[in-house]
Amino acid sequence: MSVDMKIVNETMENLKKRQFRPFYVEKKEDVLPLLKTMVKEGETVANGGSVTLGQCGVMDWLKNGGFNYLAPTSDMTDAEKKNITRQRFFADSFFLSSNAITTDGRIWNEDGASTRVAPLIYGPDKVFIVAGINKIVKTQAEAVKRIKWVAPQNCARIGFATPCVEDGQCHNCMHFQRSCCTSVTLSYSRIPDRITVILVGEELGV
């Protein structure tokens, strides 16, 4: 995927106007060195589910980098999982990706259980969004279209039985495993630079 720096720069300028803190790196291997300048060992950290974070090595770093890593595990009881998920609101740093970023600087995320978007909106002192340039789109309509293109793939990846898994099309389902339950569009951060956006000059995630 070729990188149109004019579009990247326009997006970064508009992210700044909305009090987000954008960075651009050329490749996924550049993400961790940048994050290491902004996140200190010993911090309490957590993340939302993200293919991109795995591709950039962020997941391994969070688990093994000397942090207090808050994540539910399969050996926990339901009560323990609920408790640790709630604790993530108090994390120093929270990591996730985004479904789409419009060139006007808005950030789009759709969620199922909302455990990803809730700490994005409020709680952790620092939020880090890592996104490949394939997530940049020009219009709101393209962002919504992208979200509905991604959701069936995510449902299939997780093993859900929503109707979109069959044909890749959204049926606006009322299935109990629906992954599109909460739509969050970040238009501005009242806290300057709380949300860092690292754009990577590669195609990452879905």
In the complex, the residues that contact ligand SF4 under the rule CB under 6 A are: 148, 151-152, 155, 162-164, 170-173, 175, 178-180
For ligand SF4, give the closer residue by CB, 180 or 195.
Answer: 180
Q: Report the alpha-carbon distance of residue 206 to residue 171 in Å, rounded.
A: 20
**16 vs 148 by CB, closer to ligand SF4:** 148
CB of 114 to ligand SF4, least distance (A): 14
The distance of closest approach from Cβ of residue 97 to ligand SF4 in the complex, given in angstroms and rounded to an integer, is 18
Asked if 96 and 129 count as a contact pair (C-beta separation under 8 A), the reply is yes
Which residue type does 182 have? T
CB of 142 to ligand SF4, least distance (A): 16
Q: CB of residue 86 vs ligand SF4: minimum separation in angstroms?
A: 25
The answer to whether 184 and 10 have CB atoms below 8 angstroms apart is no
When the beta carbons of 105 and 152 are compared against ligand SF4, the nearer one is 152
Residues 103 and 11 sit within 8 Å (Cβ to Cβ): yes
Strands across the sheet containing 68-69? 21-25, 195-200, 126-132, 93-96, 44-47, 68-69
Task: Between 9 and 177, name the residue whose CB sits nearer to ligand SF4.
Answer: 177
Cβ–Cβ under 8 Å, residues 86 and 156: no
